[in-house]
Amino acid sequence: MDYILNIVLLACINMIAVAGLAIFTGFTGLFSLGHAAFVGIGAYTSGVLTYHWNLPFIWAISAGMAAAGASSLIIGIPTLRAKLRSDYFAIAILGFGEALRVSLENLPWTNGARGLSLDELSGPVWVIGALVICLFLTHNLLISRFGSLFAAVREDPVAAEMAGINLFRTRLLSLVVSAALCGVSGALLAHRLAFIQPVMFTLTQSTQLLASVIAGGMGSISGPMIVAFIFSLLPEALRGLNMWRLPAYGLLLVLIMTYRPQGIMGYQELTDIFRKARKRFK
Amino acid sequence: MFLQTLVTGLSMGGIYSLMAVGYSLIFSILSFSNFAHGAVIMLSAYIGLALATKAHLGFGLVVTGSVVGAGVLSVLNEKFAYAALRRRRAPSLYLMISAMGCSMFLENMVYATIGSRFYPFPAFFGRQIVTVGGSSLSLLDLFAFIVSIGAIVALHLFITRTKMGIAIRAGVDDMTMCSLMGVNTDRLISLVFFLAGAFAGIAGIFLGIRYFVYPTMGWVTNKAYIAAVIGGLGSLPGAMVGGLILGVLETLISTYVSSVLRDVFSFTVLVALLIYLPNGLMGAETEEKV
Amino acid sequence: MNDSLLEVRDVTRSFGGIRAVDALSFDAERGKITGLIGPNGAGKTTVFNLITAVYRPTSGSIRFEGVDLTRKRPDEIVRCGVARTFQNIRLFKRMSCLENVMTPLLARVACGPLRALFCGPSVRNEKRAVQEKAYSIMEALDIADVADRNAFTLPYGQQRKLEVARALACAPKLLLLDEPAAGMNDAETEELAGTIEKVRRNFDVTIILIEHHISLVMSICTYIVVMDRGALLASGTPREVREDERVVEAYLGRRRTGGKRS
């Protein structure tokens, strides 16, 4: 039972980060190869705070969230202001992630590449509570005017500007919110695994987050949530095939782009499907 | 000492240039960043390694085999992962995601089948040293530098002087127009991918000899990508100059400042360049059609 | 020219060595429809791109109600009261038509991110008000019946109308229409002339119109600016322009002798 619970909790933690990236990539249309860095910042900020100063967990999570959000400004302000091509932006944020990993390995209070052992504070209440709150806030944001502004920016940045949208501020907001969610995810992850190491937050992890968002569907939250959950459970169900998991993700990305670029739930939510189904019944 | 550092930098830069040329070629014709290029380089190193250690071939044959192998791989990569997207004119973001997927697939396939061991290349050059003006330079460095520059100059001549090269340049200008004029664009694109792959093959061998052969060695191509951006994505002379500049700067930094900071430095340069000089040193000013 | 809303003065923009717009000056009079015509490649769309800050002019000034636009961001210019459509239709394809028209309105709603995050339901009501406003704009253009459809499923002519509706949702004082009749047949073009006139009256906007259908331009514009190779060739009332020899030679003449517009 404990074993299953542990897997489900890790899946929930992963879902928070995927929700963050879904806002940024799926709704705002910017491709990121570095979101694992924000998970890492959340993990290390909260980890260092509980490890060295025994801060209450709620404050550690908040600090992780704030640090991830704030650090996204460092990379976001210059690159988004310059309106970089989407692939340039992706590579710039990848560079940011790499630079962060190198720094984490060399900072005095992170214990370097050997990693940091922490207390296991993320119990079920914390994890599920955080997931519910995060999804509620995400939902609020996306049904507000910002959801429409994000989508307009995704569909056509030039036309969006000509509709009076401040491209820079809209994209930056999307980035900060998504980074903050990744930060929460990182803080929970660190205190669930009770151990963190810089290599846990590299390109591979960023790509996995991205795979969930894309397979789940651009412009959708429920799709990526379902896929993130499945992706987190599958490797446990197929233990022996673990080493084939990453090649399979890669292949999946190619196949999705080739045959169903909108993902399983492209540009709609579960609720939309229910609504349509009900209409058909009537 | 300084001359030695400079030559090491130039030789590393030459390898960066070889890889950057691949990025630039593909970018110039399909305008997307082919992140799978690194995986092709990595596989070419494995091909070279197999030819050298299992078939005991000489250096010339190893390079030839690796060049052809990487070229074919690169063409297959295009057919499998990009051709369908390209035909339905998918946004470049989709191509890029597909490329990402490809790179992930290939890299982890190698992990799963061959394993994560680091393999050394047989010592083709030993530790031979040439003495120039009091500084001792490694033969490998000199050779890598000369071959890289030679290959890029040859490519430049091919593209500017031959009929096929001119077809490529026309394709770069306007793909649709080219197909209207009766040029077989599929074949043209395959040719471009083959060329990019061939350069990846040379780069893979040199990287393998210099360091080791291992599944994530393609990550170095992040640097090559930076080099291509420095020179201006899509410009071949730019890719060469960008590669050399990056190689020299990095070697200087790791020799005189700190090797830890080297990667942080490269990425900082990248971000700064993207922001202040998005067309690179030699890239054409791109004008978005509105 | 006593009451000009927009003053373009000596504007030049070069790409590489080529001057796409060359020392161009003209005015758009308040409440009127100004036509901007010229052969293909004359730089007409570039003028729109310069007014809306997609590009920055290499030199010269563009003043709107006396305010210099050349240093402003595109979205600031929209807020000043300039809106446009695009030659090669740029709708938000995977959003519904109504959402397309709502977007400019939503961009102006005063609701910060924190409120959006924490007050779900109250924010929804605000959105409903915007929805009604957008719907009324679509009704005015006779496209309210397609409000729920996805923008990219519309026929061509209606997509152009939807672009106009979206531009009007910016509450502009100056509306820039880039080839609204492109791809339309004669009957549709005639109907469009009526629509443009109606828009001018009902929404109280000044219009600059780029168009290749000369009959449309001649019938609804009060003032016409003719460009050729980036520079001003002639300007005046439709009659003056029609009788101008240079215009006949450079543009109308070429068409009369069978030159085809691509």
Residue C3 Cα, gap to closest chain B Cα (Å): 30
Which of A98-102, A174-178, A201-205, B214-218 shows the highest mean pLDDT?
A174-178
Kindly state the average pLDDT of the residues A185-207. Answer: 89
What is the distance in angstroms between the CA of the first residue and the CA of the last residue of chain B? Answer: 53
pLDDT at residue A150, rounded to an integer: 94
pLDDT higher at A94 or A192: A192
Rounded to 10 degrees, what is the CA torsion of B164, B169, B173, B174? 10
A137 interaction partners in chain C (CB closer than 8 Å): 117-118
pLDDT at residue C262, rounded to an integer: 37
Which residues, numbered 105 to 124 in chain C, qualify as contacts with chain A under a Cβ-Cβ cut-off of 8 Å? Answer: 106-109, 111, 113, 115-120, 123-124
Residues of C with CB under 8 A from a CB of B: 15-16, 45, 49, 54, 86, 88, 90
Give the separation between CA B206 and CA B216, rounded to whole angstroms.
16
Question: For residue C67, what are the β-bridge partners?
Answer: C64
Residue B199 Cα to chain centre, angstroms:
6
Q: Which of B40, B6, B30, B5 is nearest to B202 (CA)?
A: B40
pLDDT at residue C127, rounded to an integer: 83
Based on the number of CB atoms within 10 Å of its own CB, is B2 exposed (0-12), middle (13-18) or buried (19 or more)? Answer: exposed
pLDDT at residue B127, rounded to an integer: 64
pLDDT at residue B177, rounded to an integer: 67
- Relative orientation angle of helices A124-143 and A2-21, to the nearest 10 degrees: 20
pLDDT at residue B149, rounded to an integer: 85
pLDDT above 90 coverage of chain B, percent? 10
pLDDT at residue C162, rounded to an integer: 92
- A262 has a pLDDT exceeding 60: yes
Which residues, numbered 216 to 245 in chain A, qualify as contacts with chain C under a Cβ-Cβ cut-off of 8 Å? Answer: 219
Chain A residue closest to C100 (CA)? A152
CB neighbour list of residue B155: distance below 8 Å, 6 or more residues apart? B21, B195, B199, B236
Q: How many residues does chain C have?
A: 262
Look at strands C18-29 and C33-37 and give their pairing: unpaired
pLDDT at residue B286, rounded to an integer: 53
- B134 has a pLDDT exceeding 70: no
Task: Note whether residue B92 is domain-resident.
Answer: yes
Within 13 A of C158's CA, how many CA atoms are on the CB side? 18
Chain C residue closest to B286 (CA)? C15
| Total number of domains constituting chain B | 1
**C-alpha distances in Å from residue A84, one per residue of A31, A80, B97, B276:** 11, 7, 17, 10
pLDDT at residue B133, rounded to an integer: 65
Give the separation between CA A178 and CA A191, rounded to whole angstroms.
20
Which residue range is the domain that position B33 belongs to? 2-109+138-276
Element at A10 (helix H, strand E): helix A2-21
Chain B residue closest to C90 (CA)? B290
Give the separation between CA A103 and CA B110, rounded to whole angstroms.
29
- B167 has a pLDDT exceeding 70: yes
Look at strands C33-37 and C206-210 and give their pairing: parallel
Q: Do C54 and B290 touch (CB under 8 A)?
A: yes
Give the separation between CA B250 and CA B256, rounded to whole angstroms.
10
Q: Do A261 and B90 touch (CB under 8 A)?
A: yes
- B283 has a pLDDT exceeding 80: no
The answer to whether residues C217 and C238 touch, using CB atoms and an 8 Å cutoff, is yes
Longest dimension (CA), chain A: 65
Which of A87, A98, A253 is closest, CB to CB, to B263?
A: A98
Question: Which residue intervals of chain C are DSSP H helices?
Answer: 44-51, 74-80, 97-108, 113-118, 120-140, 156-168, 186-203, 214-220, 238-243, 245-247, 253-256
pLDDT in tens, B85-108: 888 877 777 888 888 889 888 988
Q: What is the CATH number of the domain that holds B38?
A: 1.10.3470.10
C87 interaction partners in chain A (CB closer than 8 Å): none
Chain A residue closest to B85 (CA)? A258
Q: Does A158 touch chain C (CB under 8 A)?
A: yes
φ, ψ of residue A163 in degrees (nearest 5): -95, 10
Element at C174 (helix H, strand E): strand C174-178
Q: Which of A162, A226, B114, A280 is nearest to C172 (CA)?
A: A162
The 3-state DSSP class for residue C228 equals strand
Segment among B61-65, B214-218, B240-244, C139-143 with least mean pLDDT: B214-218
- B288 has a pLDDT exceeding 60: no
Q: Do B290 and C15 touch (CB under 8 A)?
A: no
Query: Which residue type, as a one-letter code, is found at position C54?
Result: V
Which of A95, A203, A244 is closest, CB to CB, to B271?
A: A95
C126 interaction partners in chain A (CB closer than 8 Å): 145
**C-alpha distances in Å from residue B10, one per residue of B15, B18, B139, B199, C34:** 9, 12, 13, 17, 60
A139 interaction partners in chain C (CB closer than 8 Å): 120
Task: Note whether residue B287 is domain-resident.
Answer: no
pLDDT in tens, A66-115: 999 999 998 889 888 877 777 778 878 888 888 888 888 887 777 877 88
What is the distance in angstroms between the CA of the first residue and the CA of the last residue of chain C? Answer: 34
- A197 has a pLDDT exceeding 70: yes
Q: Which of C84, C33, C60 is nearest to C232 (CA)?
A: C60
Q: Do A246 and B93 touch (CB under 8 A)?
A: no
The 3-state DSSP class for residue B129 equals strand
- A131 has a pLDDT exceeding 90: yes
Give the separation between CA B73 and CA B106, rounded to whole angstroms.
11
Residue B150 Cα to chain centre, angstroms:
15
Q: Do A247 and B109 touch (CB under 8 A)?
A: yes
pLDDT in tens, B40-93: 999 999 999 899 888 888 888 888 999 999 999 999 999 988 888 888 877 777
Task: Note whether residue B130 is domain-resident.
Answer: no
Task: Dump the DSSP string for B42-111.
Answer: HHHHHHHHHHHHTS---HHHHHHHHHHHHHHHHHHHIIIIIHHHHHTT--HHHHHHHHHHHHHHHHHHHH
Q: Do C117 and A156 touch (CB under 8 A)?
A: no
In chain A, domain spans: 2-202
Chain A residue closest to B86 (CA)? A258
Residue C9 Cα, gap to closest chain B Cα (Å): 23
Question: Which residue intervals of chain B are DSSP H helices?
Answer: 2-30, 37-53, 59-77, 83-87, 92-113, 139-161, 163-173, 175-180, 185-210, 221-231, 236-256, 261-276
C108 interaction partners in chain A (CB closer than 8 Å): 164
A84 interaction partners in chain B (CB closer than 8 Å): 274-275, 278
Element at B132 (helix H, strand E): strand B129-132
pLDDT in tens, B9-28: 888 888 888 888 888 888 88
Task: Note whether residue B239 is domain-resident.
Answer: yes
Element at C25 (helix H, strand E): strand C18-29
pLDDT at residue A17, rounded to an integer: 95
Q: Does B105 touch chain A (CB under 8 A)?
A: yes
- B120 has a pLDDT exceeding 60: yes
Residue B62 Cα, gap to closest chain A Cα (Å): 28
CB neighbour list of residue C176: distance below 8 Å, 6 or more residues apart? C48, C51, C52, C82, C83, C84, C85, C167, C207, C208, C210
Kindly state the average pLDDT of the residues A231-255. Answer: 79
Q: Do B92 and A86 touch (CB under 8 A)?
A: yes
Q: Give counts: helices (H), strands (E), chain A.
A: 12, 2
Residue C44 Cα, gap to closest chain B Cα (Å): 12
Q: Does B274 touch chain A (CB under 8 A)?
A: yes
Query: Which residue type, as a one-letter code, is found at position B66?
Result: S
pLDDT at residue A65, rounded to an integer: 95
Entry pTM: 0.86
Q: How many cross-chain Cβ pairs, A to C, lie less than 8 Å apart?
A: 106
Q: What is the ipTM of this complex?
A: 0.86
pLDDT higher at B286 or C89: C89
- A38 has a pLDDT exceeding 80: yes
Give the separation between CA C36 and CA C206, rounded to whole angstroms.
13
Based on the number of CB atoms within 10 Å of its own CB, is A209 exposed (0-12), middle (13-18) or buried (19 or more)? Answer: buried
pLDDT at residue C3, rounded to an integer: 81
Q: Can you give the pLDDT of all 262 residues of chain C as single tens digits?
A: 468 899 999 999 988 778 888 889 999 999 899 999 888 888 889 999 999 988 888 899 999 998 899 889 999 999 999 999 998 889 998 889 999 999 999 988 878 888 888 876 777 777 888 899 999 999 988 888 888 888 888 888 888 889 999 999 999 999 999 998 888 888 888 888 998 999 999 999 999 999 888 888 888 999 999 988 888 888 888 888 888 888 777 765 555 444 444 3
Task: Note whether residue B19 is domain-resident.
Answer: yes
Q: Does C17 touch chain A (CB under 8 A)?
A: no
pLDDT in tens, C41-84: 888 899 999 999 888 888 999 999 988 998 899 999 999 999 99
Chain B residue closest to A81 (CA)? B275
Segment among A199-203, B269-273, C180-184 with least mean pLDDT: B269-273
Which residues, numbered 44 to 103 in chain C, qualify as contacts with chain A under a Cβ-Cβ cut-off of 8 Å? Answer: 52, 54, 73-75, 78-79, 83-84, 86, 90-95, 99, 102-103
The answer to whether residues B181 and B188 touch, using CB atoms and an 8 Å cutoff, is no
In which order are the strands placed within the sheet that holds C18-29? Answer: C18-29, C4-15, C59-64, C67-68
Which of A169-173, A202-206, B172-176 shows the highest mean pLDDT?
A169-173
Give the separation between CA B96 and CA B104, rounded to whole angstroms.
12
Q: Does A113 touch chain B (CB under 8 A)?
A: no
Average pLDDT, chain A: 87
pLDDT at residue C4, rounded to an integer: 86
Q: Which of B63, B41, B30 is nearest to B190 (CA)?
A: B30
Give the separation between CA C106 and CA C81, rounded to whole angstroms.
16
